[in-house]
Structure 1
Amino acid sequence: MAFQSRNLSVIAYANGFTLWQYGSGADALAAITASGYFNEAAPMLRVADLIVIADSAGSAGIRRVATNAGGTVTVAATA
């Protein structure tokens, strides 16, 4: 499946930083964290924003927006 904007929600926003939650009933964590998955949300996502992700298998993870340039969003594991 593909990114579903209705599944992306703001948990908290302050001082130019946003904490997001994304839940997918159809995609695995590997697909969700692949480069370009969040491209549709590029106008809303900023570098260093965090996304709490829950996938279709019940796995979860936290990723940060590593890059957002030219409409291409890349997420990376947090340190």
Structure 2
Amino acid sequence: MAFLSKDLSVLAYANGFTLWHYTTPDAATAVDGSGYFNGAADMLRVGDMVLANAGGGSGVLVIASNAGGTVDATNLTAFGTTNSD
């Protein structure tokens, strides 16, 4: 699949920082790849965080760069990968 703007929403905004949520069946390796979020280049800023539910996992991405319409996010840092209970 590809980036769908309808699946990106603002959770909080303050002092030039935005916390986003994004959900997709796409694999995390696709979502954190350079260019995936190009469709939102006019909204995403360097340092913004994206809480992501991607490809069966969840975690946080940070927007690392956004120049010339090309957005790159850091690799997904997973939340709670296992539950030993």
TM-score, scaled to structure 1: 0.91
Report if aligned partners of 2:2, 2:36 keep a CA contact under 8 Å in 1. Answer: yes
- After superposition, the Cα gap between the structure-2 partners of 1:50 and 1:43, relative to the gap in structure 1 and judged at 3 Å, is same
Q: Which has the larger radius of gyration?
A: 2
Helix, strand or coil for the counterpart of 2:44? coil
User: Per-residue deviation at 1:78?
Assistant: 7.9
Deviations 1:26-60 (A, max 9, x none): 3111111111000000000000000011013x201
Match of 2:50 in 1: 51
Distance 1:65 1:8 in 2: 14
Match of 1:40 in 2: 39
Match of 1:13 in 2: 13
Query: Alignment RMSD, CA only?
Result: 1.5
Distance 2:70 2:15 in 1: 24
Q: How many residues align?
A: 77
Gaps of 5+ in 1: none
User: Per-residue deviation at 1:69?
Assistant: 0.1
